[in-house]
Amino acid sequence: MHAIISLVAGLIFGLGLAFSEMTNPAVVIGFLDIFGNWNPSLIIVMASAISVGMLGYWIKNKRIKPLFADKWYVPTLKHIDSKLIVGATLFGIGWGLSGYCPGPGLTALVNNPSEGVYFILALILGSGVHTLQNRTA
């Protein structure tokens, strides 16, 4: 059941990305171009995502346990540390420069393979560096 729910959630997420054109890096970069040809559509996508997240937490607070799991898996860390700040900064810089975050980056392997390959290689390299850094820390 977990695999089916994960597949359905991934398909809904992917369709949402495609429908909102968030798989198109020009749309994301257009959102960041506030002094040029600004494209505010990302605000609607973010507001929709926040609304879904809020609904999820509302459901979590109303139920003792999820329908298809033994317990809720909710992040427990609440402090902001240097790793979070550096990671968020690097993510934001990469997203702003390329117009891709991991979900749309995967779709770029099909939609725009010449850029997608570089993005995915950088994603794998960055993940590897993070893993090595945390292994030795």
In a 3-state reduction of DSSP, which class is residue 114?
Answer: helix
In a 3-state reduction of DSSP, which class is residue 112?
Answer: coil
Q: Kindly report, residue by residue over 104-125, the tens digit of the pLDDT.
A: 888 888 888 888 898 889 889 9
The pLDDT of residue 110 is 86
Residues of the chain whose pLDDT is less than 70? 136-137
In a 3-state reduction of DSSP, which class is residue 37?
Answer: coil
The pLDDT of residue 28 is 86
Q: Kindly report, residue by residue over 94-106, the tens digit of the pLDDT.
A: 888 888 888 888 8
Q: Which of 110, 107, 134, 105 is nearest to 122 (CA)?
A: 105
Helix-helix angle 102-111:2-19, to 10 degrees? 70
The pLDDT of residue 52 is 92
Cβ atoms of residues 135 and 129 within 8 Å: no
The pLDDT of residue 137 is 56
The pLDDT of residue 63 is 93
The pLDDT of residue 136 is 66
Q: The tokens of 31 are what? A: 């959102």
Residues 6+ apart with CB under 8 A from 36: none
In a 3-state reduction of DSSP, which class is residue 85?
Answer: helix
